[in-house]
Structures are given as C-alpha cells and as structure tokens.
Amino acid sequence: MLWPSPQSDWSWPPVETLDAKPYRLSVADNRLVLTSDVDEVTGYQFVKSYGISSEKSDALSVIYSIYNRSDEAKAVAAWALTRVYTRGMVAFPAGEQEIESGIFYPMDVPVIDGIRWFLYDGKSIREDHHKMMTDGREGWVAYIDKGHLLVKEFDDVPPELIAENEGEIELFADLKKTYLEIQQQGSMTMLQPGEHLEWEVIWHVRKLPADIPVAVGSQELVNFIRYLVSNFH
C-alpha cells in the first residue's frame, strides 16, 4: 500500500481514491504500471511501477510516484506499508531517534548490537492497536518467517527530513491480531503544482540457508542481510 505522509493531512480513514478505488493498468518499458485517479481533496495522483531491478535480475523494483495535481504547493512524503502474517520477526538498524507510539500502545523493540528487533507475540497485544515509530540506518528493514526472508531496501532518510510526528521505520499491530504492518517513509518533498516525486524500494526475497540461526540478536542473520543488500549494489 502507498499512503501520503504526514497522516495529519488526511487523518483517517485512508484517502479512498488513492487507497481502495481501482487503478488503471498499463505496461511500459517491461514494467507493470498502476495509475490512480486524481483525488479531489488532496490533489494527489499515485503511480506504482513494478519491474525487475535494472541492477540485479533477482530483485523486484517498486517505484512509487506522487503527483501534485492541485494548484498549490504541497509538502509530502511517500509512505509504503506491507502487511504480513502475525508471526515471525522484524529487524532493522537502529537510528538516532527514540521510539514513539503516538496514541497507541507501545511495542517492545530492543536494540542488540545496533539492530532493533521485534518478535511478534499475540499474547502481548492488548485491547488496542500497537505502534512503533523511529529512525533507521542503512536503508533496510527485514521480515523473517518460517525460514524465509523479505528485505525492503530504500534510501536512508535523515531524521530532519521525515514528516513531523512520523517515523522512517514504523510497525503496526492491530488489536484483532489479523496482521502486522511493516512501514517505511521517504523524504518530505515540496511539490509545486504539476511536480512529482519518485521513490524506489527494492524487494529481496530469499529462502534462508539452513545454517543461519533465526533468532532475536542473530549476528549471522544480520550479516546475511547486510551481504544481500551490499552485494546488490
């Protein structure tokens, strides 16, 4: 999913035109392109482009574009959300900021050797949503489940360029324990009328080697992820 950040600009629920209504489908330069209608309230139009990465044939490139179709300048960042099963764990390099949870219950995301870890445990989910917002480093966040690995890679964003009251890396667990959201945000960008931003996220999916320990704090797992990301470049 793609949302515009900050959320304070549109509150809740998500903007229907950009989030739930149909997108137009096309193919351009061997990429699958999805284009939304223009939202009359925000003035935004979204384009999501999917294709094999030009740098490596075993990685998926997702390019998110936000167009300002309004007649006024707008400050916005791209906000990508991936929903996964309510199990497994998340890892990402800890940044400079402390953890915030906003109006929701906090999440336990300890730091071990510079890496933040979240192990999903349904027993810890109270009668409300749980959220975590913070800064990251190195430009990646990983999800590990049943011997498989998903790494989302993106340009690291300094804290001063993240939207106010948002985080570069965010996690969200709903109270009904039906999904876990892994979220990341790009840089706040001032778009003049007619301008647009582009933000690429690279998806790496791997079956983990059997000799890599899958556990909170596993340095072997972190090394594998870092090798995967650095080898990509």
Name the band, by pLDDT with cuts 50, 70 and 90, for residue 126.
Answer: confident
Name the band, by pLDDT with cuts 50, 70 and 90, for residue 127.
Answer: confident
Residue 119 backbone dihedrals phi, psi, to 5 degrees: -105, 115
Name the band, by pLDDT with cuts 50, 70 and 90, for residue 157.
Answer: very high
Name the band, by pLDDT with cuts 50, 70 and 90, for residue 12.
Answer: very high
- Is residue 231 pLDDT above 80, yes or no? no
The residues, any chain, with a CB within 8 Å of residue 74's CB and separated by 6 or more, are: 42, 43, 44, 68, 190, 191
Structure tokens of 198? 């582009």
- Is residue 233 pLDDT above 70, yes or no? no
Determine how many CB atoms are found less than 10 A away from the CB of residue 132.
Answer: 24
Name the band, by pLDDT with cuts 50, 70 and 90, for residue 69.
Answer: very high
pLDDT in tens, 161-183: 999 999 999 999 999 999 999 99
The percent of residues in the chain predicted with pLDDT above 90, rounded, is 94
Assign 135 to helix, strand or coil: coil
pLDDT in tens, 133-143: 999 999 999 99
Number of domains observed in the structure of the chain: 1
pLDDT in tens, 71-87: 999 999 999 999 999 99
CATH number, domain with residue 160: 2.70.98
Instruction: Determine how β-strand 74-84 pairs with β-strand 140-145.
Output: unpaired
The HSE-up count of residue 53 (CA atoms within 13 Å, CB side) is 18
Say how far apart CA 128 and CA 87 lie, in whole Å. Answer: 18
Assign 41 to helix, strand or coil: coil
Structural contact between residues 113 and 136, judged by C-beta atoms closer than 8 angstroms = no
Q: CA–CA distance from 69 to each of 40, 41, 45, 152, 174 (Å)?
A: 9, 11, 7, 29, 33
Helix (H) or strand (E) holding 223: helix 219-232
Residue 228 backbone dihedrals phi, psi, to 5 degrees: -60, -45
Q: What is the pLDDT of residue 55?
A: 78
Q: What is the pLDDT of residue 232?
A: 61
Domain that holds residue 16: 2-232
